[in-house]
Structure 1
Amino acid sequence: MAQLVREVMTAEPVTMPSDTPVRDAAREMRDNDIGDVLVVDNGELRGIATDRDIVVRALADRDDLSTVRIGEVCSERLVTATPNEDVDNAIARMREHAVRRVPVVEDGRPVGIFSIGDAAMEKDPRSALGDISAAAGNR
């Protein structure tokens, strides 16, 4: 039987409005031991901001991050999945678009995140990526 995205996704993603300071998004990532936050305005998914986005699009170009907002550095070209979608279809789309994480959207609102780590832990938990993904964070 095919496995569904809802069975392996991380539920209840951290969401923030686009006018959130980048520093606040970085703190949420640190405090929740996650690598991304979803950018949502007026209930609509606008983008995904990863720890890499913050480094490459904000920190690398600016000395002062105090005025930078998460909406300025998030990725707006989104690849998404639905909770009732087959995991293999979502993985194929991630591979096709070379993304590591996809927001899981239901009725226009984000309900989870499906990552390459989630996929590895389900499909091949004894692989190096599965082991790394299952390990505790390195705070």
Structure 2
Amino acid sequence: MSQQLKEIMTQNVTTVTTEQSVQEAAALMSQQNVGSIPVVENGNCVGIVTDRDIALRTVSQGQSPQNTTVGTVMTSGVVTGTPEMDVHEAANLMAESQIRRLPVVENGQLAGIVALGDLATQNIYQNEAGEALSSISVPSSPTQ
């Protein structure tokens, strides 16, 4: 029998709001040793902010992390799963969407998050995790 996301997801996820500073988000990422944090408003997942968002949309643009809000750099329109979603289905969704982290939402509220690493630690899902990572990690060509 296949597993559901609720069996492997991380619960009690650290979150930020759109009004918090990028510096606060980066500090939380450092404290939690994570590369992304879901962005919530009234419990609803409205986006996700990643270390890449911070590097490309704040630091590289010469913006001040202390004076830039998460809402201005986050990725919105986030792909989500549900606690009852089959892990195989989630792995396929992550591969198709080219994402490494999948917020898990129940009744509009953030319930947890699943990362590709969570799939990889489940022996029966190592192939799916590898396939998802392969489709995400397409090498890019440097701009000449």
TM-score when scaled to structure 1? 0.85
Segments of structure 1 that go 5 or more residues without pairing to the other structure are 129-139
Tell me the distance in 2 between the aligned counterparts of 1:80 and 1:113: 9
Tell me the distance in 2 between the aligned counterparts of 1:102 and 1:63: 28
SS across alignment from 2:39: strand
CA 63–80 in structure 1, closer or farther in 2 if over 3 Å, else same:
closer
Over 2 Å off, 4+ runs: 63-66
Q: Please report how far the alpha carbon of residue 115 of structure 1 lies from its aligned counterpart in structure 2 after TM superposition.
A: 0.9
The answer to whether the Cα contact below 8 Å between 2:15 and 2:37 also exists between their aligned partners in 1 is yes
Structure 1 residues 58-117: Cα deviation after superposition (integer angstroms, max 9, x where no partner)? 111124222101111111021100011100001101111111111000111111111111
Tell me the distance in 2 between the aligned counterparts of 1:16 and 1:65: 14
Aligned residues: 127
SS across alignment from 1:46: strand
Q: Choose from 124, 127, 132 the match for 2:126.
A: 124
Question: RMSD between aligned alpha carbons?
Answer: 1.8
SS across alignment from 2:61: coil
TM-score when scaled to structure 2? 0.82
Segments of structure 2 that go 5 or more residues without pairing to the other structure are 131-144
1:83 equivalent to 2:83? Answer yes
Alignment of 1:59-74 (within 5 A): 59-74=59-74
Tell me the distance in 2 between the aligned counterparts of 1:83 and 1:4: 7
Alignment of 1:1-139 (within 5 A): 1-122=1-122, 123-124=125-126
The answer to whether the Cα contact below 8 Å between 2:45 and 2:108 also exists between their aligned partners in 1 is yes
